[in-house]
Amino acid sequence: MSFDVYAGPLCCYYARAARSPTDPEQEAARDLLPSIRGWQRIIAPALRSAGVGHPEWDERIDAPTFTQDLTHEGYWAVRLVAAYAQFDDLAEPPNPPTIDSLAGDPALARLRSHESRSRFAHVHACEAWLPLRIAEPISLEMPSGRTHPVGGVEMLKAELAALQRVLIEGTSANASPSRTIARGALDTWHALAETALRSRVPVMLDY
């Protein structure tokens, strides 16, 4: 099963799932664009309450889109580096994350229910990031109907850069298989966040 990170207009992101096999993706994106514009207006009051400006970004149907394979293993390896950087009294596991190991991981267990208030909140709590100045994740109902914390691309990029420094400044733990996987995923994710920030488009996890 793929685990990608996407950067681009939301109308194009949701069009991939909404279109029929015979419809061009751009046509589906054009059909969805009014809904995305309406959603921007709906979330504006919640963003203003959090001190965030008007929700504007590039939603042109022909705007460039970018997708990179983060992998399930890579995503969770990054999450583990972030969790153990916060709870440095715990020993970080050297092996790559698996479904079984994640379920019993002590650092992730400490984070449960307060990811949005953690040191790396935009990495832990969010699956969507808008190119806006969002200091802390905000709970929003997405166009899909799901409600979850949404972060800012700028803060995501800053947290990923901080985690890259954690790996650079670390000790022999950097040689572990898990951190090797995390390093590759971090480089991929950070580069895409940088591209999204420059292009003024959202970032979404896609899995």
Question: Among 158, 162, 160, 122, which residue's Cα sits nearest to residue 138?
Answer: 122
Q: Is residue 196's pLDDT more than 70?
A: yes
Q: What is the mean pLDDT of residues 174-187?
A: 91
- pLDDT top residue among 81 and 55: 81
Question: Among 7, 130, 3, 6, which residue's Cα sits nearest to residue 76?
Answer: 3
CA angle 72, 73, 75 (to 5 degrees): 65
145-155: per-residue pLDDT in tens? Answer: 999 999 999 99
CA angle 139, 47, 16 (to 5 degrees): 65
91-145: per-residue pLDDT in tens? Answer: 999 999 999 999 999 999 999 989 999 999 999 999 999 999 999 999 999 999 9
Phi and psi dihedrals of 114, rounded to 5? -140, 35
Query: What letter would DSSP give residue 18?
Result: H
